[in-house]
A and B are shown apart, each in its own frame.
Chain A
Amino acid sequence: MHDLYIFITGPLAWAAFILFIGGSLYRLLAMLILVNRKERFIFSYMSLRYGLRSILHWITPFATVNMRRHPVLTVVTFLFHICLIVTPIFLLSHVILWDESWNLSWWSLPDGLADFMTIIVIAGAIFFLIRRIVSPEVQFVTSASDYIILAIVAAPFVTGFLAYHQWFAYEFFMVLHILTGEMMLVAIPFTRLSHMIYSPFTRAYMGSEFGGVRHAKDW
């Protein structure tokens, strides 16, 4: 157990964070280099003002027509993504680990709230899964990879939830939690979870084209 713990919270965690941060930077840089090489015109159309205008509309709940058309999905999507990002960063246990390793400490969520937010992420993942299976227009464009990335995202939350409550085999789920968390980090730059990296750029570009060239809204 100790060797395993030391390995997965030591070298493996280092590897996961290096791949996550390095991979994300690599993907970002590769994109910019490719733009510079083949589609340099994009730079001349990018507009800070219209890019931000578009991003702001699309990160504000119900600020776009399509969000208002799907109120349930909008609520689920926002809660899911907010909880997905906020919970692991501000979870007390995680903050303690940062503190122990790096002497870095920040505000943390009360465990009860973090627990609730974890349930939201899990419920959101189940909602997306059902939507993927039940909605014909989503099913039609679904491939195995869609289920896999959903599972990659849900796994650290499910295992974290079980470990926190110490139901079933605590140590097993604790180890699994650490492993799946690391897996998710690594998956972000190398799967379509990379929408986390790319979406601000695709959004800003479309916003710039709509705002700067087409003088129209894109929401």
Chain B
Amino acid sequence: MNKSVVYMIAFVIIFVFVLVSVHSQEDMERVDNSVFKNPERPSALFRHDEHNENADIENCSECHHLYEDGQMIEDGSSEDQHCSDCHALKASDSIPALRKAFHMNCKGCHLEQKQGPVTCGECHKK
């Protein structure tokens, strides 16, 4: 009995490890909302890779846009930065506040594409 039990336990441990590590590294579950102080809602559900696959998005700058002097830079992308690096909690001259930026980025596109969640509770699931 011993051997098979040991193999089985080992298999389960490895499986779980792989599963967890793959998930945590490869695809996120929710948007990181740690920048917000006392957020009112749970952070938005968002599986990055799955989303892009479903939405057929190849170009990172679709979402990770880059602006300079108020002009969007073609093909410039900002996936190496945090959204909050540019979008502060409060809006400044031309840069929307972080919350609004998220909402406009996600919901705005969903409405244009008529795909994906648009009401509060569809993303901010309890």
Contacts and interface: CB of A to CB of B under 8 A. Distances in A.
Interface of A: 1-3, 5-6, 92-93, 96, 99-100, 110-111, 163-166, 170-171, 174
A170 B40 contact: no
20 contacts: A2-B111, A2-B114, A2-B118, A3-B114, A5-B118, A5-B119, A6-B114, A92-B40, A93-B120, A96-B99, A96-B100, A96-B103, A99-B100, A100-B103, A100-B104, A111-B40, A164-B121, A165-B126, A166-B126, A174-B119
Contacts of B103: 96, 100
A1 B122 CA distance: 12
A163 B114 CA distance: 21
B contact patch SS: helix
Contact of B115 (A2, A93, A99, A111): A2
Contacts of B82: none
Interface residues of B, number: 18
B121 A166 contact: yes
B41 interface: yes
A165 B120 CA distance: 11
Chain A CB count within 10 A is highest, among B103, B121, B122, for: B121
A146 B126 CA distance: 36
Given A2-B115, A93-B120, 14 more contacts: A2-B118, A3-B114, A6-B111, A92-B40, A96-B103, A100-B100, A110-B40, A111-B40, A163-B121, A165-B126, A166-B126, A170-B119, A170-B122, A171-B119
Contacts of A110: 40
A114 to B, nearest CB: 9
B37 interface: no
Interface in B1-51: 40-41
